[in-house]
């Protein structure tokens, strides 16, 4: 299987089905473009029935799909590893956010809050609360 092929980007059967629908949609789009001969094109219908063969070079794609199925356990392990790493990253980011929140609260507690009136002409325009570092 070509590791640079589109099928190698698919993680599971849902992704493979989406790829097949996309390829069929492109083929329909190209047919509409050829028949219409202008740039005002309608978006093709991406719905295709189940068990439809691949749109182009069917034998090659079926061969790639069989190899893709052969490597499915390895691919699923890689997906699981990636999900595990992502969970670790998200936990670390949550810890960092909590630490930053605590730091901001401590900094806010050290600040002195002052109310300032803003005047324009004869009357008060607005009352603003400012955090003063002094």
Whether 17 maps to a domain, the answer reads yes
Would residue 36 count as lying in a domain?
yes
Domains identified in the chain, total number: 1
Residue span of the structural domain in which 16 resides:
11-56
- Rounded CA-CA distance 7/23 in Å is 11
53 phi and psi angles, rounded to 5 deg: -70, 170
Find the DSSP H helices in the chain: 13-36, 58-70, 72-110
Separation in Å, CA 120 to CA 76, 117, 123, 124, 127: 67, 10, 6, 6, 12
Q: pTM to 2 decimals?
A: 0.48
pLDDT of residue 88: 96
Confirm whether 47 is domain-assigned: yes
d(CA 57, CA 37) in angstroms, rounded, equals 25
For residue 134, tell me if it sits in a domain: no
User: Would 128 be classed as within a structural domain?
Assistant: no
Q: Is residue 50 part of a domain?
A: yes
Q: Does residue 95 fall inside a structural domain? A: no
Residue 88 in tokens: 């670790």
Please indicate, yes or no, if residue 19 is contained in any of the structural domains. Answer: yes
Task: Give the pLDDT means over successive 10-residue stretches in the chain (134 positions).
Answer: 68 83 79 66 61 70 82 88 95 94 79 72 70 57
Residue 1's pLDDT is 45
Total residue count of the chain as it appears in this document: 134
């Amino acid at each position: 299987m070509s590791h640079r092929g589109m099928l190698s980007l698919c993680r599971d059967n849902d992704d493979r089905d989406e790829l097949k629908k996309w390829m069929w949609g492109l083929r329909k789009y190209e047919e509409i473009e050829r028949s219409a001969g202008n740039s005002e094109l309608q978006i093709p219908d991406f719905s295709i029935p189940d068990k439809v063969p691949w749109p182009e070079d069917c034998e090659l794609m079926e061969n790639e799909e069989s190899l893709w199925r052969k490597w499915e356990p390895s691919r699923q392990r890689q997906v699981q590893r990636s999900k595990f790493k992502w969970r670790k990253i998200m936990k670390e980011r949550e810890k960092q956010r909590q630490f930053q929140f605590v730091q901001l609260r401590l900094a806010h507690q050290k600040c002195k809050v002052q109310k300032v009136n803003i005047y324009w002409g004869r009357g008060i325009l607005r009352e603003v609360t400012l955090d003063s570092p002094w």
